């Protein structure tokens, strides 16, 4: 069990709003093994980004436990987190707002090096910066350009280089490709995959696009309204999706098939339920095709239906 | 590898800004005007004798129109207006620049703290700013000067209060939009302490509106300082403060309008020069305008 790099237990994050408690993340539990990728999938507002940011303590969790390499970091303050910043990093969704527009590429990439005193001396910093740019496939001539002069793919590469600068073990990728063109998505994904292989990185890959995680993840967790509804290995999930929400998400992946053989789409009706003051019933029940009385009695917990495959659905209980 | 490093050596921010500023004609004209004015103000102390030429009265040559002898004419008691304008630049420029500088520093710090942390700090700082904002600047200045006594330092403080409130407001508004940007979170993710984030990422990104405000406010402060002189709590009467010269000339508007017009034009030209320079600086400091 020493191979577990990150363990999250019953993580909760509530926001107080004028209407009541907003349950952004409501009891999420998972583990990530070193060198693997956990994909967290769900639609907008399901709490997947909040989960990612809580792990890095960019957001203070309401309750629950976060163990990083066995160390309980749940209640660490900014100062205590500081040494851990070189162990875990984040890649942001929007490469247009995640880079300071007033810094040059070299300043952005070298900032973590200088902040943590990892490399000493101007020339050494410059050398390491160029090295990092080379690692992520940025031409060294771009070193003094500003972010707005570059396209989305290159900007995202800068974000990746910045995250890599501190040699982290764990990187939270918060929808790293969803703001990019499809052609560039593939390039960035390939880069991330190559880096994982070369550097032995562990990823938590947050996305709303199942096609992306299929390519990328060892394990997948599907989130709906702040909770995990299905959690299993990637192969298992794609072979036998059990939760109706997972099934619907899977059928939303476009298939390159034309004509009668095209599989039928299972579309979800309605909108995501408001995450404020939720009643104790299955959170997907209002949009589910199979809702029975049992679903409205209480919120189902995750249950292991086959080794390593967990589902939270009243019908499998 | 060595040559690449050599080739891509970065220019410093200052030289980069200067390179871009040079291309802006208006800004350069403004800069030249201000430099000339500052040099003239400094030199006037050596050229003119304060007691005889600046405040000394000479009724025999009163109310002379501008000529080759008196470039800007003479006023109602026969003082050379040109000499007084040059000498007066010392008062007007140092008082306005000084009070705007004090206001700038305190305002940016308070505004950044209020905008970045929000909550109670924001409430306290901004409610005090609101109260000060609701009272006319001149009134605040009158109260401060009469409480602390009339001196140039107190005048500076008095004028800087209103400057600080407006800087605090502007800074807070920009900081609040910047606070939500992902690059602030990214700085947090590398464990940067808050004060460093504010200094390195927040303030540089809200400089543009502040720079414009600096140049506008120096102009307003020149006028506010002269209003205070007029009320008798600014720079005392015989001193050639521009605003004071302007208000002294009011009685002679019909017969010798140049007494008013010339200080007015000088104030206007100075404010214009500051605005041109401010516009140029804002563009030059913005990397997106890089050409």
A60 shares a domain with A20:
yes
Q: Measured between CA atoms, how close is B195 to chain A, in angstroms?
A: 12
Contact B8 A143 (CB under 8 A): yes
How far apart are alpha carbons B51 and B44 in whole angstroms? 13
A173 shares a domain with A158:
no
Residue A227 has pLDDT above 70, yes or no: yes
Residue A1 has pLDDT above 70, yes or no: no
Q: Which residue of A has its CA nearest to B202?
A: A100
Instruction: Supply the CATH number for residue A200's domain.
Output: 3.40.50.300
How far apart are alpha carbons B226 and B271 in whole angstroms? 14
Secondary structure (3-state) at B80: strand
A301 shares a domain with A210:
yes
Sign of the Cα pseudo-torsion (B174, B176, B179, B183, in order): negative
Contact B189 A85 (CB under 8 A): yes
A243 shares a domain with A193:
yes
Q: Which residues of chain B have pLDDT under 50?
A: 1-10, 291
A298 shares a domain with A179:
yes
A97 in a structural domain:
no
Residues of A in contact with B186 (CB under 8 A): 90, 92, 98-99, 159, 162
Contact A85 B191 (CB under 8 A): yes
Residues of A in contact with B117 (CB under 8 A): none
- Partner B contacted by A130 (CB < 8 A): yes
Q: Which residue of B has its CA nearest to A128?
A: B5
Query: What's the pLDDT score for residue A2?
Result: 63
Range of the domain at A258: 4-87+168-316
Q: Measured between CA atoms, how close is A119 to chain B, in angstroms?
A: 15
Contact A97 B182 (CB under 8 A): yes
Contact A98 B188 (CB under 8 A): no
Contact A97 B189 (CB under 8 A): no
Contact A166 B190 (CB under 8 A): yes
Residues of A in contact with B191 (CB under 8 A): 78, 81-85, 115-116
Q: Which residue of A has its CA nearest to B286?
A: A102
Q: Measured between CA atoms, how close is A151 to chain B, in angstroms?
A: 14
Query: What's the pLDDT score for residue B5?
Result: 40
Q: Measured between CA atoms, how close is A181 to chain B, in angstroms?
A: 20
* pLDDT confidence band for A182 (50 / 70 / 90): confident
What number of other Cβ atoms are within 10 A of residue A215's Cβ?
Answer: 14
User: Among B245, B237, B290, B234, which Cα is nearest to B88's?
Assistant: B245
A96 in a structural domain:
no
User: Among B36, B44, B11, B104, which Cα is nearest to B273's?
Assistant: B36
pTM: 0.78
Stretch A251-268: mean pLDDT = 73
- Can you tell me which residue has the tokens 């500023």? B21
Structure tokens at B287: 């990397």
User: Among A19, A99, A22, A34, which Cα is nearest to A62's?
Assistant: A22
Which candidate in A100, A134, A161 is best for mutational testing of the B interface (most B CBs within 10 A)?
A100
A240 shares a domain with A156:
no
Q: Which of residues 36-95 of A touch B (CB under 8 A)?
A: 53, 56, 58, 78, 81-85, 89-90, 92-94
Residues of B in contact with A159 (CB under 8 A): 186
- What would the 3-class secondary structure string for B108-169 be? HHHHHHHHHHCHHHHHHHHHHHHHHHHCCHHHHHHHHHHHHCCCHHHHHHHHHHHHHHHHHH
Structure tokens at B117: 């942390």
Q: Which residue of A has its CA nearest to B287?
A: A102
Say how many CB pairs under 8 Å bridge A and B. Answer: 85
Q: Measured between CA atoms, how close is B45 to chain A, in angstroms?
A: 42
Tally of domains within chain A: 2
A236 in a structural domain:
yes
Contact B8 A140 (CB under 8 A): yes
Nearest by CB to residue A82, choosing from B10, B191, B194, is B191
* pLDDT confidence band for A286 (50 / 70 / 90): confident
Q: Which residue of A has its CA nearest to B203?
A: A102
Nearest by CB to residue A146, choosing from B186, B194, B287, is B287
A52 in a structural domain:
yes
Q: Measured between CA atoms, how close is B285 to chain A, in angstroms?
A: 9
Residues of B in contact with A111 (CB under 8 A): 187, 190, 192
A94 in a structural domain:
no
A95 in a structural domain:
no
* pLDDT confidence band for A249 (50 / 70 / 90): confident
Contact B201 A78 (CB under 8 A): no
* pLDDT confidence band for A169 (50 / 70 / 90): very high
Query: What's the pLDDT score for residue B167?
Result: 92
Alpha-helical (H) ranges within chain B are: 2-7, 13-21, 25-47, 81-117, 119-134, 137-148, 152-179, 182-189, 194-197, 203-205, 207-231, 242-248, 258-285
A146 shares a domain with A284:
no
A12 shares a domain with A50:
yes
Query: What's the pLDDT score for residue A294?
Result: 82
What number of other Cβ atoms are within 10 A of residue B71's Cβ?
Answer: 13
A286 shares a domain with A199:
yes
Residue A213 has pLDDT above 90, yes or no: no
Q: List, in sequence order, every residue forming a beta bridge with B149; answer none if it has no partner.
A: none
- ipTM (interface pTM): 0.83
A271 shares a domain with A187:
yes
**Tens of pLDDT, residues A86-131:** 999 999 988 888 999 888 899 999 999 999 988 888 899 999 999 9
Write down the mean pLDDT value for chain A: 87
A14 in a structural domain:
yes
Residues of A in contact with B284 (CB under 8 A): none
Exposure class string for B127-136: b at 16+ Cβ within 10 A, else e: eebeebbeee
Q: What is the DSSP pairing of strand A37-41 with strand A71-72? A: unpaired
Query: What's the pLDDT score for residue A260?
Result: 67
Query: What's the pLDDT score for residue A193?
Result: 92
Query: What's the pLDDT score for residue B1?
Result: 37
A172 shares a domain with A136:
no
Residue A177 has pLDDT above 60, yes or no: yes
Query: Which residues have a Cβ under 8 Å from the Cβ of A52 and sit 6 or more positions away?
Result: A40, A90, A172, A174, A204, A206
Contact B205 A101 (CB under 8 A): yes
A177 shares a domain with A82:
yes
- Partner B contacted by A111 (CB < 8 A): yes
**Tens of pLDDT, residues A39-60:** 999 888 888 889 999 999 998 8
CATH of B41-49+74-289, one of 2.60.120.10, 3.20.20.70, 1.10.10.60, 1.10.3720.10: 1.10.3720.10
A92 in a structural domain:
no
- The upper half-sphere exposure of residue B88, i.e. CA atoms within 13 Å in the direction of its Cβ, equals 31
Taking the CA atoms of residue A123, residue A124, residue A127 and residue A132 in that order, the dihedral angle to the nearest 10 degrees is -140
A105, A145 Cβ separation under 8 angstroms:
yes
- Partner B contacted by A98 (CB < 8 A): yes
């Amino acid at each position: 069990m020493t191979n577990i790099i990150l363990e999250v237990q019953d993580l909760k994050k509530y926001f107080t709003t004028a209407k009541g408690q907003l349950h952004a993340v409501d009891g999420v539990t998972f583990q990530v093994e070193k060198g693997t990728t956990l994909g967290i999938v769900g639609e907008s507002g399901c709490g997947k980004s909040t989960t990612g940011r809580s792990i890095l303590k960019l957001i203070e969790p309401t309750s629950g436990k976060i163990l990083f390499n066995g160390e309980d970091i749940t209640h660490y303050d900014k100062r205590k987190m500081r040494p851990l910043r070189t162990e875990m990093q984040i890649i942001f969704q929007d490469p247009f707002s995640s880079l300071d527009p007033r810094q040059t590429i070299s300043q952005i990439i070298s900032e973590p090096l200088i902040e943590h005193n990892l490399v000493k001396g101007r020339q050494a910093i410059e050398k390491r910066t160029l090295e990092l740019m080379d690692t992520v496939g940025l031409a060294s001539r771009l070193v003094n350009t500003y972010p707005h002069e570059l396209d989305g793919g290159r900007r995202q590469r800068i974000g990746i280089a910045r995250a890599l600068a501190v040699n982290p073990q764990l990187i939270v990728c918060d929808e790293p490709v969803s703001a990019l063109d499809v052609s560039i998505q593939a390039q960035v994904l390939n880069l991330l995959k190559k880096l994982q292989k070369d550097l032995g990185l562990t990823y938590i890959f947050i996305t709303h696009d199942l096609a992306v995680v299929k390519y990328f993840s060892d394990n997948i967790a599907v989130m709906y309204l702040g909770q995990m509804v299905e959690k299993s290995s990637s192969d298992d999930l794609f072979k036998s999706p059990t939760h109706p929400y997972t099934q619907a998400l899977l059928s939303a992946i476009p298939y390159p098939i034309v004509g009668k053989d095209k599989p039928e789409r299972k579309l979800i009706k309605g909108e995501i339920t408001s995450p404020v003051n939720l009643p104790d019933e299955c959170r997907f029940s209002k949009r589910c095709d199979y809702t029975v009385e049992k679903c409205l009695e209480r919120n189902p917990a995750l249950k292991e239906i086959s080794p390593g495959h967990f589902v939270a659905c009243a019908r499998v209980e | 590898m060595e040559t690449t490093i050599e080739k891509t050596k970065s220019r410093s921010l200052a030289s980069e800004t200067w390179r871009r500023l040079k291309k802006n004609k208006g800004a350069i004209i403004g800069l030249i005007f201000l430099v000339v004015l500052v040099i003239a103000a400094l030199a006037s102390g050596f050229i003119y004798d304060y007691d005889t030429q600046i405040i000394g009265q000479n009724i025999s040559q009163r109310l002379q129109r501008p000529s080759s002898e008196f470039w800007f004419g003479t006023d109602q008691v026969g003082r050379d207006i040109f000499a007084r304008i040059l000498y007066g630049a010392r008062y007007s420029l140092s008082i306005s620049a000084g009070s705007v500088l004090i206001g700038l520093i305190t305002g940016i710090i308070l505004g950044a703290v209020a905008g970045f942390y929000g909550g109670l700090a924001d409430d306290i700082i901004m409610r005090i700013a609101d109260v000060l904002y609701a009272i006319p600047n001149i009134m605040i200045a009158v109260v401060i000067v009469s409480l602390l006594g009339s001196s140039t330092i107190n005048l500076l403080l008095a004028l800087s209060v209103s400057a600080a409130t407006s800087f605090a407001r502007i800074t807070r508004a920009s900081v609040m939009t910047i606070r939500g940007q992902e690059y602030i979170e990214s700085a947090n993710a590398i464990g940067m302490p808050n004060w460093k984030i504010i200094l390195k990422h927040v303030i540089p990104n809200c400089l543009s509106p502040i720079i414009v405000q600096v140049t506008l406010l120096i102009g307003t402060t020149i006028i506010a300082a002269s209003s205070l002189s007029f009320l008798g709590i600014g720079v005392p009467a015989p001193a050639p403060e521009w605003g004071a010269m302007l208000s002294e000339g009011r009685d002679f508007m019909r017969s010798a309008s140049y007494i008013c017009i010339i200080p007015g034009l000088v104030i206007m030209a100075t404010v214009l020069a500051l605005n041109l320079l401010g516009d140029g600086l804002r563009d030059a400091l913005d990397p997106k305008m890089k050409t």
